[in-house]
Amino acid sequence: MSSLSGRLLATNFGSPPGVTVGDKYVRSLWHITYYIGTPLAALVVGLIIWCLVRYRVKPGEEHRVPAQFQYHIPLEVAYTIIPLILVAVIFGFLYGGEDKITNVSKNPAIKITAEGFQWGWRFTYPNGHQEQGTYQAETNINSVANLPVLYMPANETVQIRLISDDVDHGFYIPAFLFQRDMIPGVNNVVDLNVTKTGTYLGECDQLCGVYHSYMRFKVDVMPPSTFNSWMSSQAPHSITNAGVHQ
Amino acid sequence: MTIIQDRPGPQPGAPHGTLVEEPLTEFVPGPRPRGWVKFITSTDHKQIGLNYMVTAFIGFLTAGLMAEGMRTQLIAPNNHFVTPDIYDQLLTMHGTIMLFVFLGPFAFGLANYIVPLQIGAPDMAFPRFNNLSYWLYLGGFIVMTGGFLTNNGAANFGWFGYAPLTNAIHAPGPGADMWLIGIALTGFSGIFTAVNTITTVFCLRAPGMVMFRMPIFVWNQLVTMFLVLLAFPVLTSALGLLWADRHLNTHFYEPGGGGQPILWQHLFWFFGHPEVYILALPYFGVVTEVIATMSKKPVFGYKGMIGATLSIGGLSMGVWAHHMYTTGAVLLPFFAALSLLIAVPTGIKFFNWIGTMWRGTITLNTAMLFTVGFLAMFLFGGITGVVLAQPPLDFQLHNTYFVVAHFHYVMFGGSVFAVFASIYYWFPKYTGRMLDERLGKLSFALLFIGFNLTFFPQHDLGLRGMSRRIAVYDSNLGYNFLNALSTTGAYITGIGVIPTLINIFKSMRTGAIAGDNPWDGQTLEWATSSPPPDHNFESLPPIRSERPLWDANHPDELTRVGH
Amino acid sequence: MKIEWRTILGASLFLGIICAIYWFWSTEDTGTALLLFGFAAYLMLGGYLLLQWKRRHGIPRSEDKEDATYAETAGEHLGFFPAASIWPAGMGLGGIFVGVAMIFGNWYWVIALPLILGSVIGWSVESEAPEDVPDEVEAARRQDTNIDPADIADTDAPAHP
Ligand code: HEM
Ligand SMILES: [Cu+2]
Ligand SMILES: [Cu+2]
């Protein structure tokens, strides 16, 4: 619970920190929504509580009939126009940020294909090397040891093509504050630019059948030089199966 | 039997005076069956309305039990209370029953019972179609729930059944078909009810009940029914295509055969978003009535309120793809703009509700408590809705527990609290007896605490990255405590329903006698006996404002414009 | 009547505009088709009401008049309100069995069809129950229709002054 209140009150304004370049757009939207939403909610709740406390019938005045007023045009116009402006402000902010997040670059540093299937992941690199793994290797949901791994370089634009051949899946990495669906027949391409090296957990977040909960993967974000040497050590069209010892 | 309307005029010299005494309608009485025969054959809108509401409440209890099952599974990480497959079945049927069997049809029941009374009509326009739609609805409920009795179990692909997970390969067996046909049956029932309600409101109003004198509840039901008329045919045809894919080897949603899975998403959400408002607008109407009555005031900004309802209805038809932001296949700014715009009329409603309470004489009884609960919870759900309406934030939160928390705040904290408010408010009209206030307040306290304990922590779970619709979760991700809290809340919520159930059974027989008008009501349903007689009214006050009964009872306290 | 058709044609217009914007901006077919369907559906409904209104030459019905009295509608034929009927239940059961046939096989049509056909027949025969209109009411009704349009002000205007 302490972390919950911390999450709400600390400078994060709701969101945990993200590790991609998109983070600052997401964060700015959280901020603007908080700045607008919190006072507004406080005002509305305050007014409701005020009404209940102040105008609640006291013993003995059950039959008092209050003044029967009904319209106040200036007031009504005000509470139509002001929200309209606030909403326009939010829209202005998101219109800019959203473009930055969905934009795909013409010449990314590397292109990777990520395929979701029932129930596992397959990541294909430009030279045909594949990293893959299924739920069967994942003996226990409490362990991430045998999950398939998506390797990628930090601070570079990594372009990922998201495909699926059977049912809908979802490519979701909480720490990236980002997800995109994998839908048969829809060609989805996303750019990721991660600013912090490390290992992150990814999950399928689109219900895709019985073992959906087990359909997870790891993302290993490495310094570009490390990534390059890893890449060159992978033979073309080789396959690494997670949790299976070669 | 034909009714010949024979309505006496208001008594001369008393424009807002006493009720008119002569009989209002003359009709040749037909057979008046009782018991089971009455249940099956009655065309009385009040009987059918009650049938709807009771059945819907049974749906609520059924789906609520499923929810307790799911929450029990999630009480601890890597738990094995149910298998993942059973979890998916519970999940799907919980969602489907809550929406298609409980929340929507309960509002249809209210439309049936209350709308004709509030506009001074003797019945619905098509009483026999009304009876027919109830049977289709009940059949739909039984058919979809029956899936649990089949070998492969009930449907297990979530309430919005994304293709191709629903096709014959991934979802074999009759469970999925029963889900599909069950929803289609309730869909037809909804369309009939919509046609019926619209015709009733347009053609059976009492003399003087012009459109801009109808209670807000009636207006909201009217707009809702127009949404039903648009949304349900789309859903039914989408289900028809799915059925064809499953049984006739067509390929509407099959990627392999030239079809498009995303077509289903468009069709479903073109239904699905208006559906969200079909589940909300009638309940906005309920709380408006309760607030006005319990504050002894006219609805503040009556016309603005109607305008807000109409614009919510209109906008809700242009925002379906905000459920599809993460597909990467929709026009983001268009849907974001329209979705954010809906916040404006919703805000207007809030301020109008406050204006109605302002300087009123507020009776804080159980109906009003649930209404205040509605206001607070719906406000919160609305704000998280504004968060989710922004595509970059939705990319972060879609399909996580944040969304689960959001829509439960809207539908449970919002609409279901209004369902309870409606029960406490109109029960005296249905039965002639009052519900017990002490049990009612106990029920409210438990539901309010339990509900918030269940769903507030889920916002944080979502932000931490717990995705929805998972049957097991990892113990190392910081989800454990919040989930345990949430499940505890779910148990408290479940217990909170019990006092109201006891209350209903007890008060039906032994509650205090209510009389015609226990709340000093303002609208016509309180101008007749409790429960109302066949064809509703012995007499009616003249209708000269949107509060005919108030005008008759408080000739000195008429509505004034401004303050 | 006026507010009724105006509201619905307004909704139709709104959907038409949204549809146009959506089409030009996204060029996506499914959504455009759906919005077009909404536009057309409401156009039909609103148009029908508009025709009805025109047919009455804009004369407000008693429920559209702010100062209508109950007396002036005396004898008006409100509609057919059957007290109870078994046929809707029969038809409903038939409809449910159509659904069951679509799930478990065509065999169930054997149950569904007789139920539906029987109920349709029963229902329509029942509908033809003779109208019990007492003569004097019928006569009053005829007189009542001779309303002079000039007598009736159009009062769809604002509610309480
Ligand atoms: C005691 C009260 C309730 C509890 C404890 C509860 C709990 C849950 C849980 C655990 C889920 C599954 C979340 C997931 O795994 O993704 C869920 C889903 C859902 N609930 Fe509830 N719920 C309650 C009441 C309601 C009510 C009143 C409604 C609506 C009227 C509702 C509508 C839904 C819907 C639509 C879903 C989504 C199903 C799906 O993902 O297909 N719930 N609920
Ligand atoms: Cu999945
Ligand atoms: Cu929506």
CA B470 to CA A210: how far, in whole Å? 9
- Give Dmax (Cα) for chain C: 65
Sequence-distant (≥ 6) Cβ neighbours of residue B488 within 8 angstroms = B453
**How does B121-146 read in b/e, with b if 16+ C-beta sit within 10 Å?**
bbbbbbbbbbbbbbbbbbbbbebbbb
Q: Is the dihedral of CA B81, B87, B91, B97 positive or negative?
A: negative
In this structure, is residue A182 part of a structural domain? yes
- Quote the ligand 3 centre to B389 CA distance (angstroms): 9
| Residue-level pLDDT at C76 | 60
CA dihedral B151, B152, B155, B158 (to 10 degrees): 150
Is residue B119 within 8 Å of B209, Cβ to Cβ?
yes
What's the CA gap between B211 and B225, in Å, rounded? 16
CA distance A236 to chain B (A): 29
Q: Indicate which CATH number applies to the domain containing A130.
A: 2.60.40.420
CB C83 within 8 A of CB B43: yes
Q: CB under 6 Å to ligand 1: residues?
A: B 64, 67, 70-71, 91-92, 94-95, 98-99, 102-103, 158-159, 404, 408, 411-412, 416, 454, 468-469, 490, 493-494
Which among B298, B463, B560 has CB closest to A7? B463
Tokens, residue B478: 């910081």
Angle at C123 between CA C118 and CA C126, to 5 degrees: 125
Is residue B410 one of the residues assigned to a domain? Answer: yes
| String of DSSP letters for B103-120 | IHHHHHHHHHHHHHHHTT
CB contact under 8 A, B206 and C63: yes
CA–CA separation, B105 vs B372, rounded Å?
A: 23
Substitution target in B128, B213, B242, B338 with the highest count of C β-carbons within 10 Å is B128
Q: pTM of this prediction? A: 0.91
pLDDT digits (tens, 9 = 90+) for B325-359: 999 888 788 899 999 999 999 999 999 999 999 99
The interaxial angle of helices B417-431 and B104-118, nearest 10 deg, is 40
Distance from CA of B352 to the nearest CA of A (A): 8
Helices (H), B279-413: 281-295, 302-316, 332-357, 366-388, 391-397, 401-408
Residue B21: pLDDT over 60: no
Q: Do C69 and B42 touch (CB under 8 A)?
A: no
Residues from chain A contacting residue B557 (CB–CB below 8 Å): 65, 68
> Which residues, 6 or more positions from A119, have their beta carbon under 8 angstroms from its beta carbon?
A134, A135, A204, A208, A209, A210, A211, A212, A214, A215
Q: Which positions ≥6 away from B390 have C-beta within 8 Å?
A: A29, A33, A90, A94, A98, B336, B340
Instruction: Tell me how far the alpha carbon of residue A211 lies from the centroid of ligand 2, in angstroms.
Output: 7
A189 and A147, same domain (yes or no): yes
The answer to whether the beta carbons of residues A202 and A171 sit under 8 Å apart is yes
Q: Whose CA is nearest to atom 8 of ligand 1?
A: B67
* Cα A169 to ligand 2 centre (Å): 5
Our CA-based measurement puts residue C113 at a distance from the nearest CA of chain B, in whole angstroms, of: 16
Tokens standing for residue A202? 């990814």
Distance CA C11, CA C147 (A): 33
Strand partners, A160: A112, A190
Distance B347 CA to ligand 3 centre (A): 17
The minimum-distance atom of ligand 1 relative to the CA of B490 is: 5
Q: Name the residue with tokens 């499940």.
A: B487
B297-322 pLDDT tens trace: 999 999 999 999 999 999 999 899 89
Residue B75 CA to ligand 1 centre (angstroms): 15
Q: Assign residue C9 a region: left if phi > 0, alpha if psi is -120 to 50, beta otherwise? A: alpha
Q: What is the pLDDT of residues B124-175, one digit of tens each?
A: 988 999 999 999 999 999 999 999 999 889 999 999 999 889 999 999 989 9
Q: Is position A246 within any domain?
A: no
Q: How many angstroms does the Cα of residue B404 sit away from the middle of ligand 3?
A: 13
Tell me which chain A residues have a C-beta less than 8 angstroms from the C-beta of B327: 181, 183, 186, 188
> Over pLDDT 90: what percentage of chain A?
61
**What b/e sequence results for A104-127 when a residue is b if at least 16 CB atoms lie within 10 Å of its CB, and e otherwise?**
eeeebbbebbbbbbbbbbbbbbee
With contacts defined as CB-CB under 8 Å, which chain B residues touch C104? 174
Would you say residue C73 has pLDDT above 80?
Answer: no
What is the average pLDDT value for chain B, to the nearest integer? Answer: 90
Same domain, A77 and A183: no
Note the Cα B326 to chain centre separation in Å.
28
Task: Report the complex ipTM.
Answer: 0.94
DSSP assignment letter at A32? H
Closest chain C residue by Cα to residue B146? C100
Between CA B58 and CA B145 the distance in angstroms is 12
Res. B3: pLDDT tops 70: no
Neighboring chain C residues of B263 at a CB cutoff of 8 Å? 30
Q: Pairing relation of β-strands B25-27 and B2-5?
A: antiparallel
- The atom number, within ligand 1, closest to the CA of B450 reads 1
Q: Read off the DSSP letter of residue B141.
A: H
- Amino acid B364: pLDDT: 93
Per-residue pLDDT, B559: 75
Ligand nearest to the CA of A207: 2
Q: Which two tokens stand for residue B175?
A: 């469970």
Q: Cα–Cα distances in Å, from A79 out to B350, B415, B486?
A: 10, 24, 36
Establish whether the linkage from the previous residue to A50 is cis, with ω within 30° of 0.
no
Q: How far apart are CA A9 and CA A193, in angstroms?
A: 28
In a domain, B11, yes or no: no
Q: How far is the CA of B185 from the centre of ligand 3 (A)?
A: 23
Domain count, chain B: 1
What residues contact residue B347 under an 8 Å CB cut-off, 6+ apart? A79, A83
Q: Does residue B98 belong to any structural domain of this protein?
A: yes
Q: What is the pLDDT of residue B6?
A: 40
By alpha-carbon position, which residue is closest to atom 6 of ligand 1? B67
Domain that holds residue A29: 3-102
Together in a domain, A114 and A39 = no
- What's the pLDDT score for residue B562? 58
Best CA proximity match to A123, nearest among A149, A142, A86, A98: A149
**How is the beta sheet containing B25-27 ordered, strand by strand?**
B25-27, B2-5, C77-80
CB atoms B334 and C132 under 8 Å: no
Domain that holds residue B284: 41-559
With CB atoms and an 8 Å threshold, state whether B304 touches A183.
Answer: no
**pLDDT band at residue B41, thresholds of 50, 70 and 90?**
confident
Q: Tens digit of pLDDT for each residue in B266-302?
A: 999 999 999 999 999 999 999 999 999 999 999 999 9
Cross-chain Cβ contact A33/B386 below 8 Å: yes
Name the token pair of B360.
Answer: 């009123």
Instruction: Note whether A148 and A191 are same-domain residues.
Output: yes
Whether the bond between B164 and the residue before it is cis, its omega within 30 degrees of 0, is yes
C104 half-sphere exposure, CB direction, 13 A CA radius: 16
Element (H, E) at A120: strand A120-124
**Nearest C-alpha to atom 9 of ligand 1 is from which residue?**
B67
Tell me the C-alpha distance between B92 and B153, whole Å: 11
Q: Where are the domains of chain C?
A: 2-64, 85-150
- Does some domain include residue A191? yes
CB B230 within 8 A of CB B274: yes
Mean pLDDT of the region C118-129: 80
| CB-CB under 8 Å, C68 with B234 | no
Sequence-distant (6+) residues with CB within 8 A of B13 are none
Q: How far is CA B320 from the centre of its chain?
A: 19
- C-alpha angle with apex A45: A44 to A47, nearest 5 degrees? 65
pLDDT in tens, C14-58: 999 999 999 988 888 889 999 999 999 999 999 999 998 888 887
> What does the pLDDT average to over A124-146?
89
Q: How far is CA B205 from CA B46, B213, B218, B381, B502, in A?
A: 17, 10, 11, 36, 37
Tokens of B347: 């805000």
Quick: pLDDT tens for B388-444: 999 999 999 999 999 999 999 999 999 999 999 999 999 999 999 999 999 999 999
Q: Which ligand is nearest to the CA of A210?
A: 2
The angle, 0 to 180 degrees and rounded to 10, between the axes of the packed helices B174-203 and B127-146 is 160
What atom in ligand 1 is closest to the CA of residue B416?
Answer: 27
Q: What are chain C's partners, defined as 3 or more CB pairs within 8 angstroms?
A: B
C-alpha dihedral over A91, A95, A100, A102, to 10 degrees? 100
Q: Report in angstroms the alpha-carbon separations of B357 from B291, B424, B524, B563.
A: 7, 19, 21, 13
**Residue B493 Cα: closest atom of ligand 1:** 1
Looking at per-residue pLDDT, the higher value among C74 and A194 belongs to A194
Mutate to test the pocket of ligand 1, among B92, B96, B408 (most ligand atoms within 8 A of CB): B408
| CA–centroid distance, residue C11 to ligand 3 (Å) | 19
Contacts of C113 (CB under 8 A, 6+ apart): C94
Claim to verify: residue A118 and residue A237 sit in the same structural domain: yes
In a shared domain, residues A81 and A43: yes
Q: Best interface-test mutation with B: which of A51, A58, A90, A147 has the largest number of B CBs within 10 A?
A: A51
Angle, CA of A119, A125 and A126, to the nearest 5°: 145
Q: State whether B1 and C81 contact (CB < 8 Å).
A: yes
pLDDT of B226-244, one tens digit each?
999 999 999 999 999 999 9
Contact A101 B343 (CB under 8 A): no
Pairing outcome for strands A110-117 and A158-164: parallel
CA nearest to B88 within chain A: A210
Find chain C residues with C-beta within 8 A of B221's C-beta: none
Partners of A215 on chain B (C-beta within 8 Å) are: none
| Interchain proximity B3–C64, CB inside 8 Å | no
Question: If you measure from the C-alpha of residue B405 to the centroid of ligand 3, how many angstroms do you get, rounded to a whole number?
Answer: 15
Tell me the three state secondary structure of residue B396. Answer: helix
Q: Confirm if A222 and A231 have CB atoms less than 8 A apart.
A: no
Q: How far, in Å, are A42, B45, B193, B279 from residue B432 at the CA level?
A: 40, 17, 26, 28
| CB contact burial C2-11 (16+ within 10 A = b; e otherwise) | bebbbbbbeb
| Backbone phi and psi for residue A169, each to the nearest 5 degrees, phi listed first | -130, 170
pLDDT in tens, A4-33: 544 554 445 667 888 999 888 888 888 888
Q: Which atom of ligand 1 is nearest to the CA of B470?
A: 15
A26 touches chain B (CB under 8 A): yes
Q: What is the mean pLDDT of chain C?
A: 79
pLDDT at B73: 96
Sign for the CA dihedral angle at B34, B39, B42, B48 comes to positive
Contact B425, B289 (CB under 8 A): yes
Using the beta-carbon criterion (under 8 Å), do B561 and A70 form an inter-chain contact?
A: yes
- A 166-185 → B contacts, CB under 8 A: 166-168, 170, 172, 174-175, 177-181, 183-185
Backbone angles phi, psi at A69, to 5 degrees: -85, 155
Terminal CA-CA length for chain A: 44
Closest CA to B536 of B105, B28, B124, B16: B124
CB burial of residue C130 (10 Å; 0-12, 13-18, 19+) = exposed
Same domain, yes or no: A67 and A163? no
